[in-house]
Amino acid sequence: MDAGNPAEDPEDAGPFGRPLFDKPSSRALRRVGVVDVGSNSVRLVVFDGAARSPAYFYNEKIMCGLGAGMTKTGRLNPEGRARALAALHRFKHLADGMGTGPLTCVATAAVRDAEDGADFRHDVESQTGLRLWVVDGREEARLSAQGVLLGWPGSYGLVCDIGGSSMEMAEIHGGTVGRRVTSQLGPLKLRDLKGGAKARKAYIRKTLDGMAEQLGEQKNRLFLVGGSWRAIAKIDMARRGYPLHVLHEYRMTSKSVRATTDYIKWRNIDELRQQAGISSARMALVPIAAEVLREVVRRFKPHDIAVSSYGIREGMLYEQMPQPLRDRDPLIEACRFAEDKDARLPGFGKVLYNFILPVLGRPSPERLRIIKAACLLHDVSWRAHPDYRAEVCFDNATRANLGGLKHSERVFLGLALLHRYSNTRVGTRFDQLSTLVDAKTQNEAEILGRAMRFGAMLWLKKDADLGRMKFYPKKKLLELRLTPEASLLFGEVAEARFMALAAALGADVAIKGR
Which pLDDT score, from 0 to 100, does residue 75 have? Answer: 96
Q: Please indicate whether the domains covering 19-134 and 138-314 agree at the CATH topology level.
A: yes
The pLDDT assigned to 321 comes to 85
- What pLDDT, on a 0 to 100 scale, did the predictor assign at position 123? 97
CATH of domain 329-464: 1.10.3210.10
Contact, 89 vs 50, CB < 8 A? no
**In one letter, which amino acid is 187?**
P
Using a 10 angstrom Cβ sphere, with 0-12 exposed, 13-18 middle and 19 or more buried, the burial of residue 188 is buried
Q: What is the CATH number of domain 19-134?
A: 3.30.420.40
Q: What is the pLDDT of residue 174?
A: 85
Confidence at residue 178, expressed as pLDDT on a 0 to 100 scale: 96
Instruction: Please state, in angstroms and rounded to a whole number, the distance separating the CA atoms of residues 9 and 21.
Output: 17
pLDDT lower than 70: segments of the chain: 1-30, 49-51, 513-514
Query: DSSP per residue over 57-115, as a string?
Result: EEEEEEE--TTTTHHHHSS--HHHHHHHHHHHHHHHHHHHHHT--SPEEEE-HHHHHST
What superfamily would CATH give domain 138-314?
Answer: Exopolyphosphatase. Domain 2 (3.30.420.150)
**pLDDT value at residue 51:** 58
* pLDDT reported for residue 192: 87
| 39-87: pLDDT as tens digits | 999 999 998 755 577 788 999 999 999 999 998 999 999 999 999 999 9
From 310, 44, 300, 40, select the one nearest 161 (Cα to Cα): 310
pLDDT of residue 29: 56
Q: Where are the domains of the chain?
A: 19-134, 138-314, 329-464
